[in-house]
Amino acid sequence: MATHDDIALDEEFAQTALRESLLRRLFSYTRPYRSLFAINLVLTILATGSSLFGPKLIQVGIDRYISPTLSGASEMSQAAVRGIGWVSALYLGNLLFGWGLSVWQVRSSITIGQGAMNDLRLAVFMHIQALSLNYFDRTHQGRIIARADSDVDSLDRVLTWGAGQALSSLVTLLGVLVLMVSYDWRLSLAVCSVLPPLALLTAWFHRSGREAYRKVRGSQSKLTSAMAENICGVRVVQAFGREEENLGRFESLHTDFIARWVDSARIFHTYMPTVNLLAGLSAVIVLGYGGYQVQQGGMTVGILAAFILYLGMFFGPIQALGDLYNAVLSAAASAERIFALLDTVPQVQDRPDSPALPSVSGLVEFQNVRFRYETTSPEVWVLDGISFGVKPGSMVALVGHTGSGKTSIISLLARFYEPQEGHIRIDGFDIGTHTLKSLHRQIGIVTQDNFLFTGTLMDNLKLGRPEATDEEVRTAAMALGTHSVIDRMPAGYATEVRERGGNLSAGERQLITVTRAMVADPKILILDEATSAVDPQTERVIQRALATVFERRTSFVIAHRLSTVRHADLILVMEKGRIVEQGTHSDLLAAGNVYARLYSEFVRE
Q: Calculate what percentage of the chain has a pLDDT beyond 70.
A: 90
Residue 9 reports pLDDT greater than 50: no
pLDDT in tens, 552-586: 789 999 877 777 788 889 999 999 999 999 999 99
> CA dihedral defined by 516, 519, 522, 526, rounded to 10 degrees?
30
Residue 18 reports pLDDT greater than 60: no
What domains appear along the chain, each with residue ranges and CATH number?
20-342 (1.20.1560.10), 362-438+561-605 (3.40.50.300)
Which one is predicted more confidently, 485 or 413?
A: 413
Residue 188 reports pLDDT greater than 50: yes
pLDDT of residue 249: 84
pLDDT of residue 565: 82
pLDDT in tens, 324-336: 877 887 788 788 8
- CB proximity list for 27: less than 8 A, separation 6 or greater: 116, 159, 163
Which one is predicted more confidently, 148 or 255?
A: 255
Residue 4 reports pLDDT greater than 50: no
Collapsing DSSP to helix, strand or coil, 451 comes out as coil
**Pairing between β-strand 364-371 and β-strand 383-390 as defined by DSSP bridges:** antiparallel
Q: Residue 6: pLDDT band by 50, 70, 90 thresholds?
A: very low
Whether the model pTM is above 0.75: no
Q: Residue 10: pLDDT band by 50, 70, 90 thresholds?
A: very low
Q: 426 forms bridges with which residues in the sheet?
A: 364, 429
Residue 498 reports pLDDT greater than 70: yes
Q: 527 forms bridges with which residues in the sheet?
A: 446, 557
**Pairing between β-strand 524-528 and β-strand 443-446 as defined by DSSP bridges:** parallel
How high does pLDDT run on average in the chain? 83
Q: Read off the DSSP letter of residue 188.
A: H
